[in-house]
Amino acid sequence: MLSSVDEAIRKAAVLNAIKHDGKADAGAVLGNLLGENPSLKPRARELMPTVQRVVKEVNSTSLTQLTQEASEKWPADLIKEKPEEVRKLSPLPNVEKYQTIVTRVAPNPDFVLHLGNARAAILSHDYAKMYNGKFIVRFEDTDPRLKKAQLQYYDIIREDLKWLGCSWDAEYIQSDRLPIYYKIAETLLSNDAAYICECKPEQWKPLVTAKKPCPDRELGVSIQTQRWQKMVNGGYGEGEAVFRVKTDLSHPNPAVRDWPGFRVVDVIKTPHPRVGSRFRVWPLYNMASGVDDHDLGITHVLRGKEHLTNMARQLFLYRHLGWTYPDAVHFGRLKVEGMNLSKSRMMKALEAGEYMGVDDPRLGTLAALRRRGFQPEAIRQLMWEIGPKPVDVTISWDNINAINRKLIDPTSHRYYFVPDPIRADVSGVEADMEVHQPLHPQFPEMGTRTLNLKARNGRSKLLLSGSDRTTLASGETVRLMGLFNIQSVSLNGGELNAKRVGESASGVDLPILQWVPAEDKTSVSIVLPDASNANGFAEIGLRREAVDSVVQFVRFGFCRVDEVSYDKVTLYFAHN
Ligand SMILES: [Zn+2]
């Protein structure tokens, strides 16, 4: 009687934990227990301490293990996930001002996209869609020196955006648009709204700090126009002249005062990957970006708050040209716990050979997440959850993993994988056994997989996980999933001698272990998030999985199939 109450509590706790991402709630568990077993109602108060103890136990067990336990013991009760409620993005400001909402994402093709970039891309795309507007992709590649574009990244970024589901209505590449920026430069110069500054940095700095004009500022329109021609025609070397936009020299932020709009680049030394050395004068970020936002009819700019100073600079440009600045939404920084999303740091480490490539599992790039089996929908849900908030947000991997788990769990086939295997020789197996296990315990309609266990002279060989060494060494009885129970006779290094001791799965506290038939298996190598490998064996059926499919290795975690070669399956670990 007592053990059946214990089992009912365990069941209620495990099912509640599965429903709530691994965290059961004692009150809810007691409620469910009494709902299922009304005869226990008079004992509610007395049962609570036991419920609390079991809930604590259950909450410290991995979700994968709990799901496995439930699928072995109470398959009919496993509750299918409820569909997510539809989330909404907060409305954009001033939409009524515009006939069509136009947003843009403006990547620099000097690297691939990472999680931080995904926020601007997804929000800009989804807002455009929400308002039946237009979404533009603009490659910002006007820095041939320090943030030099690389040809392969244009395509990888396009792939990244497509993967994210951010299809675009138009695409522009700034290095195609230099004549447009030159025209603006000429307009600004002839309106006396800009000048060509020949000051060396050491002359310029003290002047601008003191809010004083440099000698070039008031030379008059005709000299400025001549200097511009000299700049364009190669009369100045790199660093010898800068095109400056006139601002308020007493602006509180010195970085805004007479900011540089164009500069000379030695394109013989550092040619542009697309247009070579055709242009010597290149617009700086605020010039190119500011002109394009107006020229392409962008109505709403969504970007990080680190751009607030850029906006202050660009407002002077817009005033000079009589343009209206788009509505700008600046969001706070996005940090991911334990991960560096700084592009420059990632690039440096990559160049130093610290990573295997842009999709190294240690990186927060979309390429890396994709390779590990993260779904674009998970990233979208995450970005919607964060939204365009102005406060800084730190997200944990637990958070990202939980969202992804909900998406991949219902479609991931289950398999057994034994890392660092122990070879078990089990007595009491008189005949070959054909074991059928569901590909997914909650969806029997997905079908089954078959594990063929051979018997010879009353014994059978199978492989167990090296991580179960301690359990096996203790000599206690363990259950092999869907098979039978065994007990260790001896364990020497990687060799276990065991005997079959029972068939029933109903023992409450038996550890439940995954296994692989020793003669019917495939080699497996799993690339872990720290780029190390977990090697071992899995059931042979794994070889039928297509590349890119995500599977769940029971008691191990979700992995994406990366390659199926003649003698091995390579996977990337997503999360447990
Ligand atoms: Zn000057």
> Which tens digit of pLDDT belongs to each residue from 7-23?
899 999 999 998 888 88
145-154, 171-180, 331-340, 404-413: least confident range = 331-340
* Residue 292 CA to ligand 1 centre (angstroms): 27
* Residue 245 CA to ligand 1 centre (angstroms): 12
pLDDT in tens, 506-532: 756 789 999 999 999 999 999 999 999
Residues bordering ligand 1, an ion, CB closer than 5 Å: 197, 199, 214, 216
Contacts 24+ apart (CB under 8 A), 305-308: 305/330, 305/331, 305/332, 305/333, 305/390, 306/333
Provide mean pLDDT across the span 533-554: 97
* Residue 277 CA to ligand 1 centre (angstroms): 26
Does position 79 have pLDDT exceeding 60, yes or no? no
Confidence band, pLDDT 50/70/90 cuts, at residue 43: confident
Does position 505 have pLDDT exceeding 80, yes or no? no
pLDDT for 21: 80
pLDDT for 398: 92
Provide mean pLDDT across the span 336-362: 91
Classified as helix, coil or strand, 528 is coil
287-301, 330-344, 484-498, 556-570: least confident range = 330-344
Confidence band, pLDDT 50/70/90 cuts, at residue 81: very low
* Residue 255 CA to ligand 1 centre (angstroms): 15
Q: Is 5 exposed, middle or buried (0-12, 13-18, 19+ CB in 10 A)?
A: middle
- Cβ-based neighbour number of residue 177 at 10 Å: 18
Percent of the chain with pLDDT over 70: 98
Percent of the chain with pLDDT over 90: 82
pLDDT for 82: 46
* Residue 258 CA to ligand 1 centre (angstroms): 10
* Residue 216 CA to ligand 1 centre (angstroms): 5
Does position 71 have pLDDT exceeding 90, yes or no? no
- How far apart are the C-alpha atoms of 330 and 348, rounded to whole Å? 28
* Residue 244 CA to ligand 1 centre (angstroms): 9
* Residue 141 CA to ligand 1 centre (angstroms): 27
pLDDT for 87: 66
Instruction: Indicate whether this model's pTM tops 0.75.
Output: yes
* Residue 176 CA to ligand 1 centre (angstroms): 29
Sorted by sequence, the CB contacts under 8 Å of residue 62 that are 6+ apart come out as: 22, 555, 576
Classified as helix, coil or strand, 566 is coil
* Residue 229 CA to ligand 1 centre (angstroms): 17
* Residue 213 CA to ligand 1 centre (angstroms): 8
* Residue 263 CA to ligand 1 centre (angstroms): 13
Does position 486 have pLDDT exceeding 70, yes or no? yes
- How far apart are the C-alpha atoms of 70 and 517, rounded to whole Å? 23
Provide mean pLDDT across the span 456-473: 95
* Residue 502 CA to ligand 1 centre (angstroms): 90
Does position 184 have pLDDT exceeding 60, yes or no? yes
Does position 185 have pLDDT exceeding 60, yes or no? yes
Confidence band, pLDDT 50/70/90 cuts, at residue 83: very low
Provide mean pLDDT across the span 320-345: 92
pLDDT for 2: 46
